[in-house]
Structure 1
Amino acid sequence: MKGKYAVGNFWQKFVEGQDNYEAFSDIYNLYINDLLSYGISLGFSEETCRDAAHDVFFNIFTEKKRLSSVKNPTSYLFRSFRNHLFNIQKRQNRLSSDFMFEKNTFTTEITILDTIINEEENQKLKNLVEELLKELTPRQREAIYLRYMQEMDYEEIALLLNMNANSTRRLVSRGIENLRNKALNGDNESFTVLLFVLLISYNL
Protein backbone atom coordinates (compact mmCIF):
# COMPACT_ATOMS: atom_id res chain seq x y z
CA MET A 1 0.00 0.00 0.00
CA LYS A 2 1.15 3.48 -0.70
CA GLY A 3 1.95 5.82 2.17
CA LYS A 4 -0.03 9.02 2.38
CA TYR A 5 3.08 11.02 3.23
CA ALA A 6 4.92 9.96 0.06
CA VAL A 7 1.89 10.63 -2.10
CA GLY A 8 1.30 14.03 -0.52
CA ASN A 9 4.94 14.92 -1.02
CA PHE A 10 4.83 14.10 -4.73
CA TRP A 11 1.55 15.98 -5.10
CA GLN A 12 2.85 19.08 -3.37
CA LYS A 13 5.98 19.13 -5.52
CA PHE A 14 3.86 18.81 -8.65
CA VAL A 15 1.27 21.51 -7.91
CA GLU A 16 4.01 23.88 -6.73
CA GLY A 17 6.03 23.34 -9.90
CA GLN A 18 8.92 21.53 -8.25
CA ASP A 19 10.28 18.61 -10.30
CA ASN A 20 7.25 19.07 -12.52
CA TYR A 21 7.57 16.06 -14.82
CA GLU A 22 9.27 13.78 -12.32
CA ALA A 23 6.68 14.40 -9.62
CA PHE A 24 3.85 13.87 -12.09
CA SER A 25 5.45 10.64 -13.24
CA ASP A 26 5.72 9.45 -9.64
CA ILE A 27 2.02 10.16 -9.05
CA TYR A 28 1.06 8.39 -12.26
CA ASN A 29 3.14 5.31 -11.46
CA LEU A 30 1.79 5.12 -7.91
CA TYR A 31 -1.84 5.18 -8.96
CA ILE A 32 -2.33 3.90 -12.48
CA ASN A 33 -2.59 0.20 -11.61
CA ASP A 34 -4.87 0.83 -8.63
CA LEU A 35 -7.17 2.99 -10.74
CA LEU A 36 -7.33 0.40 -13.51
CA SER A 37 -8.09 -2.38 -11.01
CA TYR A 38 -10.75 -0.23 -9.38
CA GLY A 39 -12.40 0.57 -12.70
CA ILE A 40 -12.39 -3.07 -13.79
CA SER A 41 -13.90 -4.00 -10.42
CA LEU A 42 -16.69 -1.54 -11.18
CA GLY A 43 -17.46 -3.54 -14.32
CA PHE A 44 -15.77 -1.44 -17.00
CA SER A 45 -13.50 -2.83 -19.71
CA GLU A 46 -9.76 -2.41 -19.40
CA GLU A 47 -9.72 -0.23 -22.52
CA THR A 48 -12.37 2.12 -21.10
CA CYS A 49 -10.51 2.27 -17.78
CA ARG A 50 -7.24 3.15 -19.49
CA ASP A 51 -8.89 5.88 -21.55
CA ALA A 52 -10.59 7.32 -18.46
CA ALA A 53 -7.41 7.19 -16.37
CA HIS A 54 -5.38 8.91 -19.07
CA ASP A 55 -8.05 11.59 -19.39
CA VAL A 56 -7.90 12.20 -15.64
CA PHE A 57 -4.12 12.43 -15.60
CA PHE A 58 -4.12 14.69 -18.66
CA ASN A 59 -6.54 17.04 -16.93
CA ILE A 60 -4.41 17.02 -13.80
CA PHE A 61 -1.28 17.89 -15.73
CA THR A 62 -2.87 20.68 -17.77
CA GLU A 63 -4.94 22.19 -14.95
CA LYS A 64 -2.65 21.80 -11.97
CA LYS A 65 -3.04 25.45 -10.90
CA ARG A 66 -6.52 24.69 -9.60
CA LEU A 67 -5.32 21.66 -7.60
CA SER A 68 -3.48 23.49 -4.82
CA SER A 69 -6.52 23.16 -2.55
CA VAL A 70 -6.65 19.36 -2.87
CA LYS A 71 -5.80 17.91 0.54
CA ASN A 72 -6.03 14.21 -0.25
CA PRO A 73 -4.69 13.18 -3.67
CA THR A 74 -5.89 9.58 -3.28
CA SER A 75 -9.49 10.59 -2.67
CA TYR A 76 -9.35 13.21 -5.44
CA LEU A 77 -7.94 10.81 -8.03
CA PHE A 78 -10.38 8.00 -7.27
CA ARG A 79 -13.34 10.37 -7.24
CA SER A 80 -12.31 12.00 -10.53
CA PHE A 81 -11.69 8.61 -12.13
CA ARG A 82 -14.96 7.11 -10.88
CA ASN A 83 -17.01 10.10 -12.00
CA HIS A 84 -15.36 10.08 -15.42
CA LEU A 85 -16.09 6.38 -15.90
CA PHE A 86 -19.76 6.86 -15.11
CA ASN A 87 -19.94 9.93 -17.34
CA ILE A 88 -18.61 7.77 -20.16
CA GLN A 89 -21.24 5.15 -19.42
CA LYS A 90 -23.92 7.82 -19.23
CA ARG A 91 -23.00 9.14 -22.67
CA GLN A 92 -22.91 5.64 -24.12
CA ASN A 93 -26.17 4.39 -22.66
CA ARG A 94 -28.05 7.67 -22.18
CA LEU A 95 -28.98 6.65 -18.67
CA SER A 96 -29.29 8.82 -15.58
CA SER A 97 -26.37 8.79 -13.14
CA ASP A 98 -28.68 7.57 -10.33
CA PHE A 99 -29.60 4.52 -12.36
CA MET A 100 -26.01 3.69 -13.08
CA PHE A 101 -24.86 3.91 -9.50
CA GLU A 102 -27.71 1.70 -8.35
CA LYS A 103 -26.94 -0.92 -10.99
CA ASN A 104 -23.19 -0.86 -10.38
CA THR A 105 -21.71 -4.22 -9.33
CA PHE A 106 -18.37 -4.13 -7.55
CA THR A 107 -16.16 -7.22 -7.63
CA THR A 108 -12.83 -7.50 -5.85
CA GLU A 109 -11.45 -10.81 -7.06
CA ILE A 110 -8.28 -9.26 -8.50
CA THR A 111 -7.38 -6.21 -6.48
CA ILE A 112 -7.86 -7.49 -2.96
CA LEU A 113 -7.04 -11.14 -3.44
CA ASP A 114 -3.72 -10.55 -5.14
CA THR A 115 -2.71 -8.39 -2.20
CA ILE A 116 -3.55 -10.76 0.64
CA ILE A 117 -2.71 -14.09 -0.97
CA ASN A 118 0.70 -15.01 -2.35
CA GLU A 119 1.25 -17.45 -5.21
CA GLU A 120 2.16 -20.33 -2.91
CA GLU A 121 -1.33 -20.35 -1.38
CA ASN A 122 -2.63 -21.51 -4.77
CA GLN A 123 -6.23 -21.45 -5.94
CA LYS A 124 -7.96 -23.10 -2.98
CA LEU A 125 -7.65 -20.23 -0.53
CA LYS A 126 -8.37 -17.73 -3.28
CA ASN A 127 -11.63 -19.50 -4.07
CA LEU A 128 -12.59 -19.40 -0.40
CA VAL A 129 -12.00 -15.65 -0.26
CA GLU A 130 -14.13 -15.21 -3.36
CA GLU A 131 -16.94 -17.15 -1.71
CA LEU A 132 -16.70 -14.95 1.36
CA LEU A 133 -16.80 -11.75 -0.67
CA LYS A 134 -19.93 -12.96 -2.46
CA GLU A 135 -21.70 -12.71 0.90
CA LEU A 136 -21.28 -8.93 0.77
CA THR A 137 -23.30 -6.45 -1.24
CA PRO A 138 -21.46 -4.69 -4.09
CA ARG A 139 -21.59 -1.49 -2.03
CA GLN A 140 -19.98 -3.22 0.96
CA ARG A 141 -17.23 -4.70 -1.20
CA GLU A 142 -16.44 -1.31 -2.69
CA ALA A 143 -16.43 0.46 0.68
CA ILE A 144 -14.18 -2.20 2.24
CA TYR A 145 -11.83 -1.99 -0.71
CA LEU A 146 -11.53 1.78 -0.37
CA ARG A 147 -11.16 1.63 3.41
CA TYR A 148 -8.56 -1.09 3.74
CA MET A 149 -6.82 -1.29 0.37
CA GLN A 150 -6.71 2.43 -0.42
CA GLU A 151 -6.54 3.60 3.22
CA MET A 152 -9.28 6.20 2.80
CA ASP A 153 -11.07 7.53 5.85
CA TYR A 154 -14.83 7.34 6.16
CA GLU A 155 -15.41 10.95 5.13
CA GLU A 156 -13.48 10.39 1.90
CA ILE A 157 -15.36 7.18 1.12
CA ALA A 158 -18.66 8.90 1.86
CA LEU A 159 -17.84 11.64 -0.64
CA LEU A 160 -16.87 9.09 -3.27
CA LEU A 161 -20.00 6.97 -2.79
CA ASN A 162 -22.44 9.85 -2.28
CA MET A 163 -23.22 8.84 1.30
CA ASN A 164 -22.75 10.42 4.72
CA ALA A 165 -19.84 9.36 6.93
CA ASN A 166 -21.99 7.56 9.51
CA SER A 167 -23.71 5.49 6.83
CA THR A 168 -20.34 4.62 5.33
CA ARG A 169 -19.02 3.51 8.71
CA ARG A 170 -22.05 1.27 9.22
CA LEU A 171 -21.68 -0.11 5.70
CA VAL A 172 -18.08 -1.15 6.33
CA SER A 173 -18.83 -2.45 9.83
CA ARG A 174 -21.67 -4.67 8.62
CA GLY A 175 -19.57 -5.98 5.78
CA ILE A 176 -16.72 -6.92 8.10
CA GLU A 177 -19.16 -8.55 10.51
CA ASN A 178 -20.59 -10.62 7.68
CA LEU A 179 -17.09 -11.77 6.71
CA ARG A 180 -16.25 -12.70 10.29
CA ASN A 181 -19.47 -14.64 10.80
CA LYS A 182 -19.09 -16.52 7.53
CA ALA A 183 -15.49 -17.45 8.30
CA LEU A 184 -16.23 -18.49 11.88
CA ASN A 185 -19.18 -20.62 10.78
CA GLY A 186 -17.11 -22.53 8.25
CA ASP A 187 -17.03 -26.29 8.66
CA ASN A 188 -13.39 -26.86 7.84
CA GLU A 189 -9.95 -25.71 8.81
CA SER A 190 -9.53 -23.60 5.68
CA PHE A 191 -12.10 -21.11 6.93
CA THR A 192 -10.12 -20.65 10.14
CA VAL A 193 -6.99 -19.97 8.08
CA LEU A 194 -8.97 -17.62 5.88
CA LEU A 195 -10.27 -15.66 8.86
CA PHE A 196 -6.70 -15.28 10.11
CA VAL A 197 -5.57 -13.99 6.70
CA LEU A 198 -8.37 -11.44 6.64
CA LEU A 199 -7.76 -10.23 10.18
CA ILE A 200 -4.02 -9.82 9.66
CA SER A 201 -4.27 -8.29 6.20
CA TYR A 202 -6.95 -5.76 7.06
CA ASN A 203 -5.96 -5.11 10.69
CA LEU A 204 -9.56 -5.77 11.75
Structure 2
Amino acid sequence: MKTATATINLFDDNTLWNNLKDGDEKSFSMLFERYYADLVRYGNSLSLFEEKVQDCIQDVFTDLWVYRNSLQESVVVKAYLLASVRKRIARLHERDHIFRKTTTTDSIAFLLEFSVQHELVDDDYATKEKVNHLNKLLNDLPARQKEALYLRYHQGLTVEQIAEMLDVNYQSASNLLHRGLLSLRKEWKGSFPIILLLSSGSF
Protein backbone atom coordinates (compact mmCIF):
# COMPACT_ATOMS: atom_id res chain seq x y z
CA MET A 1 0.00 0.00 0.00
CA LYS A 2 2.81 2.43 0.93
CA THR A 3 4.55 1.70 -2.36
CA ALA A 4 1.38 2.37 -4.36
CA THR A 5 0.77 5.64 -2.50
CA ALA A 6 4.35 6.73 -3.01
CA THR A 7 4.07 6.03 -6.73
CA ILE A 8 0.90 8.12 -7.00
CA ASN A 9 2.52 11.02 -5.17
CA LEU A 10 5.50 11.07 -7.53
CA PHE A 11 3.36 12.82 -10.13
CA ASP A 12 1.82 16.25 -9.65
CA ASP A 13 -1.75 16.96 -10.69
CA ASN A 14 -0.81 18.89 -13.83
CA THR A 15 1.33 16.03 -15.11
CA LEU A 16 -1.41 13.49 -14.52
CA TRP A 17 -4.02 15.79 -16.08
CA ASN A 18 -2.00 16.34 -19.24
CA ASN A 19 -1.23 12.63 -19.50
CA LEU A 20 -4.91 11.88 -19.07
CA LYS A 21 -5.72 14.27 -21.93
CA ASP A 22 -3.26 12.28 -24.04
CA GLY A 23 -5.10 9.06 -23.22
CA ASP A 24 -2.85 7.62 -20.53
CA GLU A 25 -4.98 5.20 -18.51
CA LYS A 26 -2.46 4.93 -15.68
CA SER A 27 -2.61 8.68 -15.04
CA PHE A 28 -6.39 8.52 -15.12
CA SER A 29 -6.31 5.76 -12.47
CA MET A 30 -3.84 7.72 -10.34
CA LEU A 31 -6.11 10.77 -10.27
CA PHE A 32 -9.02 8.56 -9.33
CA GLU A 33 -7.09 6.98 -6.46
CA ARG A 34 -5.72 10.33 -5.29
CA TYR A 35 -9.07 12.07 -5.00
CA TYR A 36 -11.75 9.40 -4.64
CA ALA A 37 -11.86 9.50 -0.83
CA ASP A 38 -12.09 13.31 -0.75
CA LEU A 39 -14.84 13.28 -3.36
CA VAL A 40 -16.85 10.66 -1.48
CA ARG A 41 -16.51 12.64 1.73
CA TYR A 42 -17.61 15.86 0.06
CA GLY A 43 -20.38 14.16 -1.90
CA ASN A 44 -21.76 12.63 1.28
CA SER A 45 -21.90 16.14 2.74
CA LEU A 46 -24.40 17.07 0.02
CA SER A 47 -26.56 13.96 -0.14
CA LEU A 48 -27.83 11.31 2.26
CA PHE A 49 -27.72 8.66 -0.48
CA GLU A 50 -24.20 7.21 -0.35
CA GLU A 51 -24.64 4.83 -3.30
CA LYS A 52 -25.89 7.66 -5.51
CA VAL A 53 -22.94 9.80 -4.46
CA GLN A 54 -20.57 7.04 -5.55
CA ASP A 55 -22.46 6.77 -8.84
CA CYS A 56 -22.07 10.52 -9.36
CA ILE A 57 -18.32 10.29 -8.78
CA GLN A 58 -18.05 7.37 -11.19
CA ASP A 59 -19.97 9.41 -13.76
CA VAL A 60 -17.62 12.36 -13.31
CA PHE A 61 -14.59 10.19 -14.00
CA THR A 62 -16.32 8.45 -16.90
CA ASP A 63 -16.94 11.85 -18.48
CA LEU A 64 -13.32 12.80 -17.86
CA TRP A 65 -12.16 9.83 -19.88
CA VAL A 66 -14.77 10.00 -22.62
CA TYR A 67 -14.34 13.74 -23.18
CA ARG A 68 -10.62 13.92 -22.38
CA ASN A 69 -9.79 15.47 -25.76
CA SER A 70 -11.91 18.52 -24.97
CA LEU A 71 -10.71 19.08 -21.40
CA GLN A 72 -9.19 22.44 -20.53
CA GLU A 73 -5.43 22.63 -20.81
CA SER A 74 -4.84 24.05 -17.34
CA VAL A 75 -7.06 23.49 -14.32
CA VAL A 76 -6.76 23.13 -10.57
CA VAL A 77 -7.60 19.44 -10.61
CA LYS A 78 -8.92 19.12 -7.06
CA ALA A 79 -11.21 22.14 -7.42
CA TYR A 80 -12.38 20.90 -10.83
CA LEU A 81 -13.30 17.47 -9.48
CA LEU A 82 -15.05 18.82 -6.38
CA ALA A 83 -17.06 21.25 -8.50
CA SER A 84 -17.95 18.51 -11.00
CA VAL A 85 -19.24 16.24 -8.23
CA ARG A 86 -21.26 19.10 -6.72
CA LYS A 87 -22.91 19.88 -10.07
CA ARG A 88 -23.62 16.22 -10.72
CA ILE A 89 -25.30 15.83 -7.33
CA ALA A 90 -27.32 19.01 -7.93
CA ARG A 91 -28.63 17.52 -11.17
CA LEU A 92 -29.44 14.31 -9.32
CA HIS A 93 -31.44 16.28 -6.75
CA GLU A 94 -33.38 18.02 -9.50
CA ARG A 95 -34.10 14.80 -11.35
CA ASP A 96 -35.29 12.98 -8.26
CA HIS A 97 -37.25 15.97 -6.97
CA ILE A 98 -35.42 15.78 -3.65
CA PHE A 99 -35.14 19.57 -3.69
CA ARG A 100 -37.03 22.21 -5.64
CA LYS A 101 -35.99 22.50 -9.24
CA THR A 102 -33.32 25.11 -9.82
CA THR A 103 -30.75 26.05 -12.42
CA THR A 104 -28.08 26.56 -9.73
CA THR A 105 -26.68 24.53 -6.86
CA ASP A 106 -28.05 26.92 -4.21
CA SER A 107 -30.54 24.38 -2.88
CA ILE A 108 -27.94 21.84 -1.77
CA ALA A 109 -27.55 21.77 2.00
CA PHE A 110 -24.14 21.03 3.51
CA LEU A 111 -24.69 18.13 5.90
CA LEU A 112 -21.33 17.27 7.45
CA GLU A 113 -20.78 17.81 11.16
CA PHE A 114 -17.57 19.57 12.10
CA SER A 115 -15.60 18.18 15.02
CA VAL A 116 -12.58 19.73 16.70
CA GLN A 117 -11.01 16.92 18.69
CA HIS A 118 -10.25 17.55 22.36
CA GLU A 119 -6.73 16.19 22.00
CA LEU A 120 -5.93 18.83 19.37
CA VAL A 121 -6.33 21.58 21.94
CA ASP A 122 -3.87 21.82 24.82
CA ASP A 123 -5.48 22.09 28.24
CA ASP A 124 -3.59 25.34 28.71
CA TYR A 125 -5.66 26.90 25.95
CA ALA A 126 -9.14 25.47 26.35
CA THR A 127 -11.11 23.14 28.51
CA LYS A 128 -13.14 20.23 27.22
CA GLU A 129 -16.28 22.26 27.73
CA LYS A 130 -14.93 25.09 25.58
CA VAL A 131 -14.09 22.69 22.76
CA ASN A 132 -17.59 21.23 22.91
CA HIS A 133 -18.90 24.79 22.74
CA LEU A 134 -16.77 25.50 19.66
CA ASN A 135 -18.07 22.40 17.90
CA LYS A 136 -21.61 23.57 18.57
CA LEU A 137 -20.81 27.04 17.22
CA LEU A 138 -19.37 25.51 14.05
CA ASN A 139 -22.30 23.22 13.44
CA ASP A 140 -24.85 25.95 14.15
CA LEU A 141 -23.47 28.10 11.32
CA PRO A 142 -25.63 28.46 8.20
CA ALA A 143 -24.92 25.58 5.79
CA ARG A 144 -23.35 27.81 3.13
CA GLN A 145 -20.94 29.40 5.60
CA LYS A 146 -19.93 26.00 6.96
CA GLU A 147 -19.39 24.63 3.45
CA ALA A 148 -17.28 27.65 2.49
CA LEU A 149 -15.12 27.17 5.61
CA TYR A 150 -14.79 23.45 4.83
CA LEU A 151 -13.69 24.12 1.25
CA ARG A 152 -11.24 26.81 2.37
CA TYR A 153 -9.59 25.18 5.37
CA HIS A 154 -9.98 21.45 4.69
CA GLN A 155 -9.80 21.26 0.92
CA GLY A 156 -7.42 24.20 0.51
CA LEU A 157 -9.43 25.97 -2.18
CA THR A 158 -9.01 29.67 -2.92
CA VAL A 159 -11.83 32.17 -2.57
CA GLU A 160 -12.09 32.30 -6.37
CA GLN A 161 -12.48 28.53 -6.57
CA ILE A 162 -15.07 28.51 -3.78
CA ALA A 163 -17.03 31.21 -5.58
CA GLU A 164 -17.08 29.14 -8.76
CA MET A 165 -18.12 26.00 -6.91
CA LEU A 166 -20.96 27.69 -5.05
CA ASP A 167 -22.06 29.58 -8.16
CA VAL A 168 -21.60 33.00 -6.55
CA ASN A 169 -19.32 35.96 -7.23
CA TYR A 170 -16.00 36.50 -5.47
CA GLN A 171 -17.40 39.01 -3.00
CA SER A 172 -20.24 36.70 -1.97
CA ALA A 173 -17.80 33.84 -1.33
CA SER A 174 -15.54 36.15 0.64
CA ASN A 175 -18.53 37.32 2.66
CA LEU A 176 -19.50 33.74 3.50
CA LEU A 177 -16.03 33.07 4.88
CA HIS A 178 -15.84 36.40 6.69
CA ARG A 179 -19.26 36.06 8.32
CA GLY A 180 -18.56 32.50 9.38
CA LEU A 181 -15.24 33.43 10.99
CA LEU A 182 -16.71 36.60 12.51
CA SER A 183 -19.52 34.62 14.11
CA LEU A 184 -17.08 32.08 15.55
CA ARG A 185 -14.67 34.71 16.85
CA LYS A 186 -17.51 36.63 18.47
CA GLU A 187 -18.60 33.63 20.53
CA TRP A 188 -15.31 31.75 20.97
CA LYS A 189 -13.73 32.61 24.32
CA GLY A 190 -10.72 30.32 24.10
CA SER A 191 -7.25 31.69 23.37
CA PHE A 192 -6.37 29.03 20.78
CA PRO A 193 -6.69 30.64 17.29
CA ILE A 194 -9.88 29.75 15.42
CA ILE A 195 -8.00 29.34 12.12
CA LEU A 196 -5.74 26.65 13.56
CA LEU A 197 -8.70 24.80 15.02
CA LEU A 198 -10.50 24.86 11.67
CA SER A 199 -7.44 23.53 9.88
CA SER A 200 -6.86 20.80 12.47
CA GLY A 201 -10.44 19.68 12.96
CA SER A 202 -12.25 17.06 10.97
CA PHE A 203 -15.53 16.66 9.16
TM-score by length of 1: 0.76
The answer to whether the aligner puts 1:148 opposite 2:153 as a matched pair is yes
The corresponding residue for 2:62 is 58
Q: Structure 1 stretches of 5 or more lacking a match?
A: 185-190
Question: 2:60 and 2:157 mapped to 1: Cα distance?
Answer: 19
Amino acid at match of 1:148: Y
The answer to whether the aligner puts 1:41 opposite 2:49 as a matched pair is no
Shift of 1:199: 6.2
The corresponding residue for 2:88 is 84
Shift of 1:6: 2.2
Matching of residues 89-128 of structure 1 within 5 Å? 89-93=93-97, 95-97=100-102, 101-102=106-107, 104-109=108-113, 113=115, 117=117, 127-128=132-133
Question: 1:200 and 1:43 mapped to 2: Cα distance?
Answer: 24
The answer to whether the aligner puts 1:8 opposite 2:14 as a matched pair is yes
The list of structure 1 runs, each at least 4 consecutive aligned residues, that deviate by more than 4 angstroms after superposition, is: 124-129, 191-197
Q: Secondary structure at the match of 1:150?
A: coil
Q: Structure 2 stretches of 5 or more lacking a match?
A: 1-8, 121-127
Question: 2:147 and 2:14 mapped to 1: Cα distance?
Answer: 24
Deviation string, structure 1 residues 114-145 (Cα, Å, up to 9, x no partner)? xx648x66xx6875453121231100011111
Size of the alignment, in residue pairs? 184
| Structure 1 residues 195 and 101: CA distance shift in structure 2, 3 A | closer
Question: 2:55 and 2:79 mapped to 1: Cα distance?
Answer: 19
- Asked if 1 retains the 8 angstrom alpha-carbon contact of 2:46 and 2:89, the reply is no
Question: 1:58 and 1:151 mapped to 2: Cα distance?
Answer: 25
| Structure 1 residues 196 and 176: CA distance shift in structure 2, 3 A | closer
Shift of 1:68: 3.5
Question: 2:76 and 2:52 mapped to 1: Cα distance?
Answer: 25
TM-score by length of 2: 0.77
Amino acid at match of 1:33: A
Deviation string, structure 1 residues 22-55 (Cα, Å, up to 9, x no partner)? 2111111111111111111113311111010001
Q: Secondary structure at the match of 1:69?
A: coil
Q: 1:71 aligns with which of 53, 72, 75?
A: 75
Shift of 1:107: 2.9
Q: Percent same amino acid among aligned pairs?
A: 30
